């Protein structure tokens, strides 16, 4: 299985289709509000894995009921609920997929294809059940569950092996000192624009306005983009940094994500100024 997945990750034959689909999804989901809604930026957590709980739960429960006598109607209702609930999960999944790297998109494409096949099998099961062919309906539903299981395996690989949807900045913060570490003279920091210093091998983004300095992990939580090369939007307590790779926007004072594709906040650090020297520490 591992060898097969590793081959799929390198299958460049999928790239032409993947690139065209990516442009199409980005064109459809152009409004920022729609993208933020589907990424889960408002939730502080990717929305896709939350939404898939409904169809997965409904299909699993239907599989149990299909194995019991006298539960045909209940199983059919659950399959109908699962099939309908797949629509928002699919929409969120495609929007997340459209901002992934190429190798992640290859696995994502196969994950989506497997789930589309599974959904087709469940739709076929509903049609069969509606015309009284319960045996066929049950077989199609079990086939759908098997294919969906393969799709879920690939989704797990995408998240836990390839890091899609993870906050990649979180492990960086753990490498920073819990005790105060000196960064240097505050006066040496440029005013009103981001600058980067390396502390214990971790790049830290500093932003100074007068004697106020904010600090956050410089590697963007979405896919590791260089926030130090990002634009600053807004001013004062609302000033934000915009990631140059995919446009995730984080408030500098507290790292709260304002726009996706990042769904989680950017880790920030405590700052302290003594005798004109800036120090940072993890919260």
Binding site for ligand FES (CB under 6 A): 220, 222-225, 243, 245-248, 261-262
Q: Which is nearer to ligand FES, 59 or 250 (CB)?
A: 250
Site of tokens 């309906």: 137
Q: How far is the CB of 242 from ligand FES (least distance, A)?
A: 9
Six token digits for residue 138: 């049950």
Six token digits for residue 25: 């999804």
Q: How far is the CB of 250 from ligand FES (least distance, A)?
A: 9
Q: What is the number of other CB atoms lying within 10 angstroms of the CB of residue 210? A: 8
Q: Which is nearer to ligand FES, 106 or 129 (CB)?
A: 106
Q: How far is the CB of 256 from ligand FES (least distance, A)?
A: 15
Q: What is the DSSP string of 67-96?
A: TSTT-HHHHHHHHHHHHHHHHHHHHHHHHH
Q: What is the number of other CB atoms lying within 10 angstroms of the CB of residue 166? A: 16
CA nearest 55: which of 36, 81, 30, 92? 81
Q: How far is the CB of 246 from ligand FES (least distance, A)?
A: 3
Q: How far is the CB of 240 from ligand FES (least distance, A)?
A: 13
Q: Which is nearer to ligand FES, 55 or 228 (CB)?
A: 228
Q: Which is nearer to ligand FES, 76 or 223 (CB)?
A: 223
Residue 52 exposed, middle or buried by CB count within 10 Å (0-12, 13-18, 19+): buried
Q: Which is nearer to ligand FES, 93 or 225 (CB)?
A: 225
Q: How far is the CB of 224 from ligand FES (least distance, A)?
A: 6
CA nearest 207: which of 173, 177, 183? 183
- Sheet containing 268-274, strands listed edge to edge, beginning at the edge strand earlier in sequence: 181-185, 277-281, 268-274, 212-217, 202-209, 195-199
Q: Which is nearer to ligand FES, 34 or 127 (CB)?
A: 34
């Amino acid at each position: 299985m591992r060898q097969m997945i590793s081959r799929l990750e390198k299958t460049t034959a999928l790239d032409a289709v993947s690139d065209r689909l990516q442009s199409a999804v980005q064109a459809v989901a152009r409004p920022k509000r729609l993208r933020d809604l589907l990424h889960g930026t408002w939730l502080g957590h990717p929305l896709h894995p939350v939404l898939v709980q409904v169809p997965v739960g409904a299909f699993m429960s239907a599989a149990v009921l299909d194995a019991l006598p006298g539960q045909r109607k209940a199983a059919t209702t659950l399959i109908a609920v699962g099939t309908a609930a797949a629509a928002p999960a699919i929409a969120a999944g495609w929007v997340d997929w459209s901002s992934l790297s190429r190798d992640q998109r290859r696995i994502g494409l196969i994950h989506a294809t497997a789930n589309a096949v599974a959904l087709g099998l469940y739709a076929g099961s509903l049609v069969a059940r509606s015309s009284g062919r319960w045996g066929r309906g049950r077989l199609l539903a079990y086939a759908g569950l098997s294919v969906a299981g393969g799709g879920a395996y690939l989704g797990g690989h995408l998240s836990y092996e390839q890091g899609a949807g993870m906050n990649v900045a979180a492990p960086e913060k753990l490498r920073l000192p819990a005790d105060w570490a000196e960064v240097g003279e505050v006066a040496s920091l440029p005013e009103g624009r981001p600058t980067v210093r390396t502390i214990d091998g971790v790049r830290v983004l500093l932003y100074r306005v007068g004697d106020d300095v904010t600090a956050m992990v410089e590697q963007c939580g979405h896919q590791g983009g260089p926030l130090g090369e990002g634009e600053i939007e807004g001013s004062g307590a609302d000033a934000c940094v915009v990631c140059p790779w995919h446009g995730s926007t984080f408030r500098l004072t507290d790292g709260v994500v304002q726009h996706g594709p990042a769904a989680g906040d950017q880790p920030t650090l405590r700052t302290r100024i003594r005798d004109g020297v800036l120090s940072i520490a993890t919260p």
